[in-house]
Amino acid sequence: MDKVIRSQAWGGPQTLTFRQFRYFIAVAEAESVSRAAQEIGISQSAITAAVQALELEIGATLFVRHQKGVRLTHEGHQLLRHARSIMAAVADARRAVSVRPEEVSGELNLGVTRMVSGYYLADLLARFSRVFRQVRVRVVEEERSYLEHLLVNGELDVGLLLVSNLGDRQALETELLVRSPWRVWLPARHRLLDSSVLTLAEVAAEGVIMLTMDELAETTSRYWAEAGLRPRIVLKTSSVEAVRSLVGTGVGIATLPDMAYRPWSLEGDRLEARHLSDPVPSVDVGLVWRRGAPLSTTAWHFIEMCREYSPRQSTQRL
């Protein structure tokens, strides 16, 4: 039976259900009602009804419907964050009852790269600390190569980083959590917004802002070279917020992993994102630990929590 959250916002006996949030997240991630229905294993119309009921209940349009599927609106993006928090809270509640977290103590030494700490760490750490109150967490934010060194030496229990460029796969065990495709970020009313899918060649013809965080500059330079294109780089920055602001104000456009996309900048300028038709390899976020070494109990619980975490943002979770 669904968990029912009573709402008095519009006067009537409206309800928000766990099921509605689950379907909403599935549609947002699949960017298609039909695909979401296939993934969940129910009919498309059941999803449509649940999403419509949610939109009615929330009092906002959550998706823009179009020929190839659906796309989140600004309000939809905002609700998605809350919906994921709700799902995470339910998972945590289940864990709090089933694993007796008060009996888990000790230390968790965690290594992260900047991109990961910016987008996944705060939420994961908050959840972990809320459930496992007896565990002291020590976080090291470093370059990927140095984290690998610390993991191999046993100075870190587990790493959460971009595994696409991982060096030492012999000594390290990896588990892919999130696969984030590249997207083109554009300011509102940009002429390229007429297309739902863009090519690298179209992007190269514009002024491009390049993000240099976490080896992304090397990655992007590689795919530009493989496509035989030389984009006009307007600016390089290691700050995602700077990229958002610069795109928002129309200084240039950018290609970035979908995980970093937010539909507005710090200044409140609107940003849009479009798919790339070129076969550019995704940016993969995953867990890394030393191969052959026994995992500590704290590390094991952290890995279990990460496995449940599903911030897919139309990415693929494996």
Contact footprint for DNA (CB under 7 A): 1-2, 15, 17, 19, 32-35, 41-46, 48-53, 65, 67-70
User: In whole angstroms, what is the distance from residue 287 CA to residue 163 CA?
Assistant: 8
Q: How far is the CB of 63 from DNA (least distance, A)?
A: 7
Q: How far is the CB of 5 from DNA (least distance, A)?
A: 12
Burial profile 162-181: b = 16 or more Cβ within 10 angstroms, e = fewer: bbbbbeeeeebebeebbbbb
* Closer residue to DNA in complex, CB, 30/115: 30
* Closer residue to DNA in complex, CB, 61/239: 61
Residue pair 161/133 in contact (Cβ under 8 Å)? The answer is no
Q: Identify the CA nearest to 149 among candidates 107, 111, 114.
A: 111
* Closer residue to DNA in complex, CB, 34/78: 34
Q: How far is the CB of 2 from DNA (least distance, A)?
A: 4
* Closer residue to DNA in complex, CB, 48/85: 48
User: In whole angstroms, what is the distance from residue 30 CA to residue 209 CA?
Assistant: 28
* Closer residue to DNA in complex, CB, 32/265: 32
Burial profile 135-159: b = 16 or more Cβ within 10 angstroms, e = fewer: beeeeeebebeebbbbbbeeebbbb
Q: Identify the CA nearest to 288 among candidates 173, 179, 187.
A: 173
Q: How far is the CB of 94 from DNA (least distance, A)?
A: 19
Residue pair 274/258 in contact (Cβ under 8 Å)? The answer is no
Q: How far is the CB of 268 from DNA (least distance, A)?
A: 29
Q: How far is the CB of 149 from DNA (least distance, A)?
A: 46
* Residue 304: partners with Cβ closer than 8 Å, 6 or more residues away: none
Q: How far is the CB of 45 from DNA (least distance, A)?
A: 3
Q: How far is the CB of 1 from DNA (least distance, A)?
A: 6
Task: Encode 15-84 in three state secondary structure.
Answer: EEEHHHHHHHHHHHHHCCHHHHHHHHCCCHHHHHHHHHHHHHHHCCCCEEEECCEEEECHHHHHHHHHHH
* Closer residue to DNA in complex, CB, 19/149: 19
Hey, which residues does 236 pair with through a beta bridge? 210
Residue pair 288/174 in contact (Cβ under 8 Å)? The answer is yes
Structure tokens at 178: 């999130």
* Closer residue to DNA in complex, CB, 33/287: 33
User: In whole angstroms, what is the distance from residue 293 CA to residue 299 CA?
Assistant: 12
* Closer residue to DNA in complex, CB, 37/280: 37
